[in-house]
Amino acid sequence: MLSSATRVQYDGRVMQFPALPPGERIVVSASAFVAFEQCPENANARFRGEYGPPSRPSFIGGLAHRLFARHLDQGPIASDTFEQVCKEEIGSTASLNISMGQLGLKPSQIPGVVSEVRELYERFVKFPADGFEGAEVSLEVEPASDVVLRGRIDAVFDDAGTVRLVDWKTGRINEVDDQLGFYALLWDLDRGSLPAAVEAVSVKTGERQRSEPTVEKITALAGRVSAMVKTVRAGWEAGTELDRVGGPWCTYCPLLEGCTEGRAATAVMARG
């Protein structure tokens, strides 16, 4: 028996999340969906709890995101307390604490980390915060039986009565269409209305990529998420791997060492 589809209506038009047959419970995040679109087996590794090694840039970015949220929620961080605030965020955020240990960062290296994060923060505070509504807004919906979509929006803004979702980037903006689309779909399913815009904003470079969701766009993306769930579940049921595709994402993939496609891709990138 097929699970009932989730429907959201706009001015007589209906966005329908495709019905799916029963299957093993699966939790799909924006990062898992993006990973699947790049390399299905990379996403499958995530579902097994396998993640690539941490990197200094990701640690810096994670800490910076915590400070961005703190700034929006509580106000500016004073210069003379900045290092202490960084230490507090590292200590109170499990993922940062774990990454710090995995990276082997010593207390003597913290000032260097703080300096890099401070530079990002000083750029961040120059962005306007008019209409700010919330930071690190967590969303979770179950549009089909045992299919959970989950995500966290970096910032939500009210622009003259319309909703704008923002994802902060601490490096260059690469391919973000699928990520932004997933956030729009998630917001739609959770709140019952489309955001007017979803943006990726690079704090480091000032780049901005804006997407304006439509019913047609998110309906198409919902179909791709549904197809992903079917493919992953079929692999689980058969006990087989999914397709492997080499690309820039291979650098920090947990499967790299034993992956022919990944090793070939990283070798090409190393040669420039």
Choose among 201, 200, 202: nearest CA to 171: 202
User: What single string gives the DSSP state of each residue in 119-151?
Assistant: HHHHHHTTS--TTEEEEEEEEEEEEETTEEEEE
What would the pLDDT profile of 37-72 be if each residue is shown by its tens digit?
A: 999 999 999 999 999 888 999 999 999 999 999 999
- 144 inside domain: yes
- 213 inside domain: yes
- 98 inside domain: no
According to DSSP, the residues that pair with 157 across neighbouring strands are 132, 164
What would the pLDDT profile of 229-265 be if each residue is shown by its tens digit?
A: 999 999 999 999 999 999 999 998 999 999 999 999 9
pLDDT band at 21 (very low <50, low <70, confident <90, very high): very high
What pLDDT is stored for residue 164 in this prediction? 98
pLDDT band at 14 (very low <50, low <70, confident <90, very high): low
- 134 inside domain: yes
Mean pLDDT of the region 15-19: 86
What would the pLDDT profile of 187-231 be if each residue is shown by its tens digit?
A: 999 999 999 999 999 999 999 999 999 999 999 999 999 999 999
The token duo for 199 is 């943006």
* pTM of model > 0.85: yes
- 140 inside domain: yes
What is the Cα–Cα distance from 116 to 60, expressed in whole angstroms?
7
Cα dihedral sign for 156, 159, 160, 161?
Answer: negative
pLDDT band at 1 (very low <50, low <70, confident <90, very high): very low
* CATH number of the domain enclosing 188: 3.90.320.10
What is the Cα–Cα distance from 72 to 64, expressed in whole angstroms?
12
Domain that holds residue 233: 24-48+130-238
The answer to whether residue 4 scores a pLDDT higher than 50 is no
Q: Left, alpha or beta for 35 (phi > 0: left; psi -120 to 50: alpha)?
A: alpha
Give the chain's largest Cα–Cα span: 62
- 217 inside domain: yes
Choose among 198, 179, 182: nearest CA to 190: 182
Q: What is the mean pLDDT of the chain?
A: 93
Share above pLDDT 90 across residues of the chain, in percent, rounded to a whole number: 87
- 249 inside domain: no
The structural domain count of the chain equals: 1
pLDDT band at 271 (very low <50, low <70, confident <90, very high): confident
Phi, psi of 145 (to 5 degrees): -55, 125
- 93 inside domain: no
